[in-house]
Structure 1
Amino acid sequence: MPALAIRAWSATTALGRGVQAQQSALLERRSGLRRNDFGPVGSDGQPLPCWIGRVEGLEDAPLPAAFARWECRNNRLAWLAFQQDGLPEALAGAVAAHGAGRVALVLGTSTSSIGATEEAYGRLETQVDGTQRFPAGLDRSIVHTVHSLGDFMQHATGLRGPCITVATACSSSAKVFAQAARLIQAGVVDAALVGGVDTLCGSVLFGFNSLQLVSPDPCRPFDAGRTGLSLGEAGGFALLERATPGETGLQLRGYGESSDAHHMSSPHPQGLGAQYAMRDALARAGVTAADIGYLNLHGTATPANDSIEAAAVAAMFPDTLHAGSTKGWTGHTLGAAGIVESVIALLALRHGTLPGTLNSDTPDPACGAQIRFANATADIDLAMNNSFGFGGNNCSLVFGCS
């Protein structure tokens, strides 16, 4: 595929706001996970006993008054994340060059603003005729849809190109890169703002816990004693544009997608969907597995998912590959994981810091030599990111720097 230039990029996570906060925490091997102190409680009146990756300051960061219609935690995080690392200025430059109608907006999310819907149902008001309705402050229909994020960001940025919300669970904000690449290659637009945002809420915490996937301790991806995931919240964006001939810098080189549909919440036991996505991304980038210098793994720390992904990686890549999961730093940020971990792959390309796997110290013998726990330093030309969602909805991305 023709390479796409990455003009600006940023992520805001439990590690802090912007790329420098992410880079510093990765270098220091400082986790953003904390004991769960988030609002929703269970039937015992207590928060779920687990660790979370919570973004500081959202409670004190309401949207500007002009955007009050979209007020909710998820859109607050979207607005906060968009203000970092020169994104507004870079987007203004793209609009000036191409026009607002020639810049697409493609965003990924898993639960969007469902936290506001939970609150609305928890505060139902009984009317004179006996019917119930949402309280006035939450009776805003757009907030109670998956497209709340896309609709908000379209109005906040003034973009008039295609506006798309991708909701494929944990692969959502990886697949936005693929969607944007197709729009640009087809000539529909000249640039695209891609990204993803997901925030903590009761449905996320108690929903994953009902699947017996949440660990009571900080997650330990690929560790022999891993017991489950730690959930987090995050937001991030990247501005993509056609690369000019001979242009250097950070680029999207390839994407690969698959949908193995093996099971609603479990991956294919041989990792076939994961392999298809990775092979497709490598082929589209025109490179081989041996060319990849760093692979950011989906690596959720659930017993089955990690071993299956590790087996898929071992079947394709040489033992020399440096592969690791960064969810011990940020938690599993669900629909935002794709953009967050793409930003980490871009940091690896720019700074040569290859993250290992935080909190893990006992390698699972079922996992291959590619899985690294310690950080490393190396100049690399290509990095890859895996994001796998429920239903076997998989996406792999290849980034390059030349």
Structure 2
Amino acid sequence: MSGIFRPVTLPLRVSRFTATSCVGEGNDALRAALHERRGGLVRDGFAESDLDTWLGPVANADTERIDGELAPFDCRNNRLARIGLAADGFLDDARDAVRRHGAHRVGVILGTSTGGVLETELAYRRRLPSGALPPGFDYSATHSPYSVVEYVRALTGARGPSTAVSSACSSSAKVFASAARLIATGLIDAAIVGGVDSLCQTTLYGFNSLELLSSDPCRPYDPDRNGISISEGAAFALLERWPGRPDDDAIALVGYGESSDAHHMSSPHPEGLGAQIAMRAALTSAGLDAGDIDYINLHGTATPSNDAAEGLAVSAVFGATPCSSTKGATGHTLGAAGALEAVISILALRHHEMPAGINSKRVDPALNVHYLLENRAAEMRYVLSNSFGFGGTNCSLIFANVAGVSDLLRARDQEAP
């Protein structure tokens, strides 16, 4: 273990967490899908699009409606947020945290890439003869990336510092780092973090124009990989200070690392230099060495260039550490991917199982990583999760179980003067 820099607030307890995606609502559905190695991707049939690709829609996102005094927030993205908040009793737990800490001591930091763009797309279809958007369209309550934050604040009662992070596919990983810094400053005592991203035509046809969509369910790290499968999801976590007497199954955020290499608008640095910086920074902030990490949840989008760049970066930093991408099961949930895969990493720690990638038949030998094609039962202390976005916005998170946290705190005490 190394001891160069450690944020004073770490570890932070992940007191509650939940994830909803195309494989189902809540943690049990997600864990079952990963354990059984099955995915939720379906042939594209979304909103009259005619693309030859597979998508991951969430059931009920079309039929749910937000009504009453919160009706102005009604859009697919916020409906998805409500579905996600209801899973695993997370909304009740978040409200309880607000009561315990005080409304102004709980922040809300959420990631999204498109917010409620779909609502604007639908509004343009209903334009008036003058060209004006239809009455009742509310940009700030639907389209705006901050809309989902405001909606979650309204549901939970949290009134602390709040923000939306929109840094492409790293968005809802970076919220964990943002929350840790807010807690470190003393502005808040707890944070509701997560990510929500929903399907829309802008995303589908945008990625199609970049020739990044796969005509098959995506197969990360396979030599025949040919693109991503776009999906949607909602995942949330409650971060609080680490207790003096944690439960046996407690999980903590112990490290984070961020970088912005700005190599290209849509292509990663070919050697994954920004990814390496983020992963090394996460190790440093946790006080860990590369050999301490037991499993890596890869960003693994299944595009040729992304997997190649991440594979080179992971090989350079970690060598043969077991790793996999779970996007074959859930699809790529874009701005929600960081939070969704943080939950997957937590479930791996808690249930002692490294999830294998699915759909991939073999591992590209050029990538030189220890990629899992079968689930592996294993005792783990530290898991790293990668999220890398367009423009070189990179974030890596490290989670630990009680044994891992105890080792870190013991090492910290020994190093104290």
- TM-score, scaled relative to structure 1: 0.95
**C-alpha contact 1:33 1:51 (8 A) present in aligned 2:** yes
The question of 1:315 aligning with 2:277 is answered: no
Give 2:97's aligned amino acid: A
Give 2:100's aligned amino acid: A
Aligned to 2:63: 60
Give 2:124's aligned amino acid: Y
Correspondent of 2:92 among 82, 89, 94:
89
**C-alpha contact 1:8 1:239 (8 A) present in aligned 2:** yes
Bigger shift: residues 64-73 or 133-142:
133-142
Aligned to 2:124: 121
Q: Deviations over 1:151-178 (max 9, x none)?
A: 2112222211011000000000000000
Correspondent of 1:37 among 45, 67, 70:
45
Aligned to 1:267: 268
Q: Secondary structure at the match of 1:144?
A: coil
Provide the rounded CA distance (Å) in 1 between the counterparts of 2:147 and 2:369.
42
Provide the rounded CA distance (Å) in 2 between the counterparts of 1:86 and 1:210.
40
Correspondent of 1:13 among 10, 21, 27:
21
Aligned to 2:414: none
**C-alpha contact 1:69 1:140 (8 A) present in aligned 2:** no
Bigger shift: residues 363-372 or 195-204:
363-372
**C-alpha contact 2:112 2:335 (8 A) present in aligned 1:** yes
Give 2:307's aligned amino acid: D
Pairwise CA distance, 1:119: 0.7
Correspondent of 1:75 among 63, 71, 78:
78
Question: Which residues in structure 2 correspond to 1:199-278 (within 5 Å)?
Answer: 199-245=198-244, 247=246, 249-278=250-279
Provide the rounded CA distance (Å) in 1 between the counterparts of 2:95 and 2:140.
30
Give 1:222's aligned amino acid: Y
Structure 1 runs of 4+ with >6 Å offset: none
Bigger shift: residues 140-149 or 294-303:
140-149
The question of 1:22 aligning with 2:30 is answered: yes
**C-alpha contact 1:98 1:190 (8 A) present in aligned 2:** yes
Provide the rounded CA distance (Å) in 1 between the counterparts of 2:117 and 2:22.
20
**C-alpha contact 1:67 1:156 (8 A) present in aligned 2:** no
Q: Secondary structure at the match of 1:383?
A: strand
Pairwise CA distance, 1:246: 5.2
- TM-score, scaled relative to structure 2: 0.92
Provide the rounded CA distance (Å) in 1 between the counterparts of 2:338 and 2:392.
15
Provide the rounded CA distance (Å) in 2 between the counterparts of 1:142 and 1:343.
27
The question of 1:395 aligning with 2:399 is answered: no
Give 2:391's aligned amino acid: G
Amino-acid identity (%): 50
Q: Secondary structure at the match of 1:75?
A: helix
Q: Secondary structure at the match of 1:232?
A: coil
Q: Secondary structure at the match of 2:371?
A: coil
Provide the rounded CA distance (Å) in 2 between the counterparts of 1:54 and 1:30.
15
Q: Deviations over 1:144-200 (max 9, x none)?
A: 322111121122222110110000000000000000000001101000000100001
The question of 1:372 aligning with 2:372 is answered: yes
Aligned to 1:358: 358
Q: CA separation of 1:139/1:286 partners in 2, compared to 1, >3 Å: closer, same or farther?
A: closer
**C-alpha contact 2:270 2:308 (8 A) present in aligned 1:** no
Give 2:46's aligned amino acid: F
Q: Secondary structure at the match of 1:264?
A: coil
Provide the rounded CA distance (Å) in 2 between the counterparts of 1:277 and 1:141.
33
Aligned to 1:44: none
